[in-house]
C-alpha cells in the first residue's frame, strides 16, 4: 500500500518567469536556471508559459500591427524570426540535455520557426521533453488569438498527444485553444489526467478556465503563465520607444495556478511576482473523481457522438522520390 501511494504522487514546478524579450540565448539561460531549481526541489516536471522562448508579440497592438506593408512591422517580424526556435538547428539541445541530466520532464512554450514549413513563418508551440531529454511532441497552436494572427501561423493536429509520467498522463494546450472543446476532448480520449495550460500571462485568463477544465475533465489542471515588465525589454529592441510608450509597467501579470480534479484550488492564481510554484499531486484523487463522471469513459456515448482528429503534420508539398 505504501508503494502504491508513492507511485501515485507527482511533484511539479510552475516557472512563472519573464523572458529577456526576443533574446533566445539569454532567455534560455533563465529557463535552464529554473530547470535546475525545480530539479533541486525534487520536481519530476517543470512547465513554462506560452511563447516564453523568446517572447510574446507584445508589439502588435502597440505599433499599429495591422498596417499593411509597414516597414516597422517588417523589421519587427524579421527580428522575431531571428530569435525564434528552430528545433532542427539545435536551439533546444541545452534544454534536452538538462532534462536528461536532472531526470525531469519539461513543458515549454516557444515560438517555433520550423523548416518543414519553409523556415520563414512562426508558430506558437508547446514542446514536451521527457526525462531522458527526448522531444516527444511539438504541438503548434491550432488558432492564434486575435492580433496574434498578424505574426503567428495556424498549426495542425500533429501535436495533440499525451505522455505518461509516473501514474499520470500529461497533455497540454496553448492559451485560448484551451477554450476549444474538441481539442480538449481529443486529449481526454487519450487518457489525459494532468492538463497543462500555458499562457503568456494574465490572471483574467486563468482564474475561471483552470477550474472549469478541471471540473469538466475530472483531472488536475495546471495553468502556467509568464510575466512581462518594461525592464525585460533589451535596450536594443527595434522600435522600443514605440512599444513602451503609453504602456503600463506590467505587460503580463502571471496568474499561474493549479486546480484539483474536483475543481477546487490547490494553488490559487499568483500574480505580479516571479516565482517557481511547487506542488505535489496525488493520482488517487483523479480516480476518486472519475467515479461519478468520466468524459471519455463511462459517461460518454461514442455510439451517438464521436470526434475524428487529423494528426498528420501539414505541409504545402509532399515529395515522391
Active-site annotation holds for 321: no
3-state per-residue secondary structure call for the chain: CHHHHHHHEEEEEEEECCCCCCCHHHHHHHHHHHHHHHHHCCCCEEEECCCCECCCCCCHHHCCCCCCCCHHHHHHHHHHHHHCECHHHCCCHHHHHHHHHHCCEEEEEEEECCHHHCCCCEEEEEEEECCCCCEEEEEECCCCCHHHHHCECCCCHHHCCCEEECCEEEEEEEHHHHHCHHHHHHHHHCCCCEEEEEECCCHHHHHHHHHHHHHHHCCEEEEEECEEEHHHCCCCCCCHHHHHCCCCCEEEEEEEEEECCCCCEEEEEEECCCEEEEEEEECHHHHHHCCCCCCCCCCCCCCCCCCCCCCCCCCCCCCCC
The CATH number given to whatever domain includes residue 157 is 3.60.110.10
Q: What pLDDT was estimated at residue 318?
A: 87
Is 189 among the domain residues? yes
Is 155 among the domain residues? yes
Q: What pLDDT was estimated at residue 3?
A: 54
Is 84 among the domain residues? yes
Is 271 among the domain residues? yes
Is 321 among the domain residues? no
Active-site annotation holds for 50: yes
Place of cell 512591422: 73
pLDDT per residue, tens digit, the chain (321 aa), is 555 567 999 999 999 999 999 999 999 999 999 999 999 999 999 999 999 999 999 999 999 999 999 999 999 999 999 999 999 999 999 999 999 999 999 999 999 999 999 999 999 999 999 999 999 999 999 999 999 999 999 999 999 999 999 999 999 999 999 999 999 999 999 999 999 999 999 999 999 999 999 999 999 999 999 999 999 999 999 999 999 997 888 999 999 999 999 999 999 999 999 999 999 999 999 999 999 999 999 999 999 999 999 999 999 988 889
Q: What pLDDT was estimated at residue 4?
A: 59
The number of distinct structural domains making up the chain is: 1
Q: What pLDDT was estimated at residue 248?
A: 85
Residue 199: give the domain boundaries: 9-289
Q: What pLDDT was estimated at residue 5?
A: 67
The structure's pTM equals 0.96
Is 319 among the domain residues? no
Q: From the candidates 43, 50, 148, 177, give the one annotated as an active-site residue.
A: 50
Is 111 among the domain residues? yes
Q: From the candidates 175, 177, 192, 257, give the one annotated as an active-site residue.
A: 175
Q: From the candidates 141, 148, 192, 257, give the one annotated as an active-site residue.
A: 141
Active-site annotation holds for 112: no
Amino acid at each position: 500500500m505504501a508503494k502504491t501511494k508513492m507511485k501515485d504522487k507527482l511533484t511539479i514546478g510552475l516557472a512563472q518567469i519573464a523572458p529577456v524579450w526576443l533574446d533566445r540565448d539569454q532567455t534560455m539561460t533563465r529557463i535552464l536556471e529554473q530547470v535546475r531549481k525545480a530539479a533541486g526541489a525534487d520536481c519530476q516536471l517543470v512547465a513554462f508559459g506560452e511563447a516564453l522562448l523568446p517572447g510574446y508579440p507584445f508589439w502588435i497592438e502597440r505599433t499599429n500591427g495591422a498596417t499593411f506593408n509597414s516597414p516597422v512591422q517588417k523589421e519587427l517580424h524579421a527580428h522575431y524570426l531571428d530569435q525564434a526556435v528552430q528545433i532542427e538547428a539545435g536551439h533546444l539541445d541545452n534544454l534536452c540535455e538538462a532534462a536528461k541530466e536532472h531526470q525531469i520532464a519539461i513543458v515549454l512554450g516557444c515560438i517555433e520557426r520550423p523548416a518543414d514549413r519553409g523556415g520563414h513563418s512562426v508558430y506558437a508551440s508547446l514542446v514536451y521533453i521527457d526525462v531522458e531529454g527526448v522531444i516527444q511532441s511539438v504541438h503548434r497552436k491550432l488558432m492564434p488569438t486575435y492580433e496574434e494572427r498578424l505574426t503567428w501561423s495556424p498549426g495542425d493536429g500533429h501535436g495533440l498527444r499525451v505522455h505518461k509520467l509516473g501514474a499520470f498522463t500529461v497533455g497540454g494546450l496553448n492559451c485560448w485553444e484551451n477554450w476549444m472543446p474538441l481539442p480538449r476532448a481529443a486529449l481526454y480520449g487519450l487518457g489525459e489526467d494532468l492538463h497543462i495550460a500555458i499562457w503568456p500571462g494574465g490572471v483574467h485568463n486563468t482564474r475561471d478556465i483552470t477550474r472549469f477544465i478541471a471540473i469538466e475533465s475530472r483531472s488536475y489542471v495546471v495553468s502556467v503563465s509568464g510575466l512581462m515588465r518594461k525592464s525585460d525589454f533589451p535596450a536594443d529592441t527595434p522600435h522600443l520607444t514605440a512599444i513602451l510608450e503609453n504602456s503600463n509597467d506590467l505587460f503580463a501579470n502571471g496568474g499561474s495556478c493549479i486546480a484539483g480534479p474536483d475543481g477546487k484550488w490547490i494553488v490559487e492564481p499568483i500574480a505580479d511576482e516571479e516565482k517557481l510554484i511547487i506542488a505535489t499531486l496525488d493520482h488517487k484523487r483523479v480516480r476518486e473523481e472519475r467515479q461519478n463522471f468520466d468524459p471519455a469513459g463511462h459517461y460518454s456515448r461514442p455510439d451517438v457522438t464521436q470526434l475524428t482528429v487529423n494528426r498528420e503534420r501539414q505541409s504545402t508539398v509532399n515529395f515522391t522520390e
